[in-house]
């Protein structure tokens, strides 16, 4: 298994400035290569302390690329619904150029109603805009003189610049959380998958669906799956829990706050499961999530065991993306946890590291 670092800013201006958050994150990223973390990842969110410091993940990753030489620079994720495909394709290839071919492009549908409302987008167009957006960006990255006539955007004979370093283009990841249709489609299209772990039985089924549709579409290998976890290790288990319980609970509260509309009877045909899923998340907490091995907080030995169990329960996955610096955690403690994990946890899973299957250009 590969382990990378996820930077999800969940603070508002009266809590911790973006200047402090991003600069501390960059310092931690400086340790990434030497400690063997395989990626740096950040989100796209707006207007709210749930991720809102990162309205364009590529801007932060471009800075992060200057603190690393080998780690991948992964968007987790770009939201096509709020961006023009010509712009996204250009930015992806710029980062791929600046980082010497280390860019990986994760895309998601977005799910916070307040973002849609402010950008004047309908949630009911979510899937259509996502499918069209990813397809158009893929085409612009793969081909010169690309033409595509879509429902939302169209272009004729466009050669997007820069041309990406990676061929046929930077790998594409798709974020899916609950919809079997999304997991299936990601596999069919030969895209890597990023998800947020919930109930292990359900994840096992969804991942199985993804891998099955990957194979059936004739892609080489068995797909490529990433899960995101809150991670904090300390040799003293009680201290680890004491340090990270409130940050995890707060992250869940901020998610509830940012997605409040779903709890107020808001519905969309494109999000049949979201009201229920977010209701469940709102009701969950650190202790529940730790019991289910969805947060990795404890001693190195304890966390090793949680990873083993979760990996087995979902039928195996490939990459863990670790959230490691909640804003109330002093940087030196985040660094200590990062080092301890790299020394005493990660190596136990190196034997089962695979190589991601290649992605191919559209026929």
Residues that bind its own copies in the complex, under the rule CB under 8 A: 12-13, 17-19, 21-23, 26, 46-49, 52-56, 58-60, 62-63, 65-67, 82-84, 86-87, 90-91, 93-98, 100-101, 118-119, 155, 158-163, 165
Q: Which is nearer to its own copies, 34 or 159 (CB)?
A: 159
Task: Tell me the helix, strand and coil percentages in the chain, rounded to 5.
Answer: 45, 15, 35
Q: Kindly give, in sequence order, each residue whose CB lies less than 8 Å from that of residue 270, ignoring residues fewer than 6 positions away.
A: 109, 123, 124, 125, 126, 127
Cβ-based nearer residue to its own copies, 156 or 351: 156
Give min distance, CB of 86 to its own copies, in A: 7
**Smallest distance, Å, CB 104 to its own copies?**
16
CB of 306 to its own copies, least distance (A): 33
162 vs 357, which CB is nearer to its own copies?
162
Q: Are 335 and 232 in contact (CB under 8 A)?
A: no
Cβ atoms of residues 110 and 133 within 8 Å:
no
- What H or E segment, with its residue span, contains residue 3? strand 2-7
Nearest alpha-carbon partner for 339 in 350, 347, 327:
347
Shortest separation between residue 152's beta carbon and its own copies, angstroms: 11
**Cα distance from N-terminal residue to C-terminal residue, the chain:** 31
Minimum CB distance to its own copies, residue 163 (Å) = 5
d(CA 25, CA 98): 19
- Backbone torsions φ then ψ of 101, nearest 5 degrees: 80, 30
Nearest-approach distance from CB 219 to its own copies, in angstroms: 28
Nearest to 91 by CA among 60, 58, 61: 58
Q: For residues 158 and 146, give the distance between their C-alpha atoms in angstroms, rounded to a whole number.
A: 5
Tokens of 136: 């158009």
Phi/psi class of residue 342: alpha, beta or left (left: φ > 0; alpha: ψ in -120 to 50)? Answer: alpha
Give 84 or 354: the residue with its C-beta nearer to its own copies.
84
- Rounded to whole angstroms, the Cα distance separating 252 from 278 reads 10
Using the minimum distance from each CB to its own copies, give the nearer residue, 26 or 128. Answer: 26
Nearer to its own copies, 75 or 178 (CB): 75
Q: How far is the CB of 17 from its own copies (least distance, A)?
A: 7
Residue closer to its own copies, measured from CB, 23 or 202: 23
């Amino acid at each position: 298994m590969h382990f990378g670092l996820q930077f999800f800013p969940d603070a508002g201006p009266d809590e911790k400035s973006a200047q402090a958050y991003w600069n501390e994150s960059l310092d931690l990223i400086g340790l990434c290569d030497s400690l063997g973390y395989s990626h740096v990842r950040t989100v796209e969110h707006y207007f709210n302390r749930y991720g809102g410091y990162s309205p364009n993940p590529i801007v932060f990753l471009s800075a992060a690329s200057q603190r690393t030489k080998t780690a991948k620079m992964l968007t987790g994720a770009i939201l096509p619904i709020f961006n023009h495909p010509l712009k996204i394709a250009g930015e992806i290839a710029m980062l791929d150029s600046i980082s010497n071919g280390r860019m990986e492009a994760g895309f998601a549908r977005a799910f916070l109603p307040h973002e849609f409302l402010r950008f004047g987008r309908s949630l009911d167009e979510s899937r259509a805009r996502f499918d069209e957006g990813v397809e158009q960006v893929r085409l612009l990255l793969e081909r010169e003189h690309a033409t595509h006539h879509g429902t939302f955007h169209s272009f004729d004979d466009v050669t997007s610049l820069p041309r990406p370093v990676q061929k046929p283009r930077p790998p594409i990841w798709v974020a899916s959380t609950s919809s079997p249709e999304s997991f299936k489609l990601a596999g069919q299209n030969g895209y890597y998958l990023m998800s947020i772990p919930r109930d292990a039985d359900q994840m096992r089924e969804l991942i199985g669906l993804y891998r099955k549709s990957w194979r059936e579409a004739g892609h080489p290998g068995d797909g490529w799956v990433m899960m995101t976890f809150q991670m904090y290790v300390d040799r003293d288990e009680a201290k680890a829990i004491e340090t990270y319980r409130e940050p995890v609970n707060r992250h869940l509260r901020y998610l509830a706050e940012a997605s409040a509309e779903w709890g107020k009877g808001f519905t969309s045909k494109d999000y049949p499961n979201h009201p229920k899923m977010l209701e469940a998340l709102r009701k969950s907490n650190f202790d529940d999530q730790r019991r289910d091995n969805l947060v990795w907080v404890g001693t190195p030995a304890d966390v090793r065991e949680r990873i083993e169990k979760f990996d087995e329960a979902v039928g195996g996955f490939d990459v863990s993306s670790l959230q490691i610096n909640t804003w109330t955690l002093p940087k030196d403690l985040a660094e200590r946890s990062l080092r301890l994990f790299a020394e005493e946890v990660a190596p136990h899973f190196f034997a089962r590291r695979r190589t991601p299957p290649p992605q191919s250009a559209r026929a």
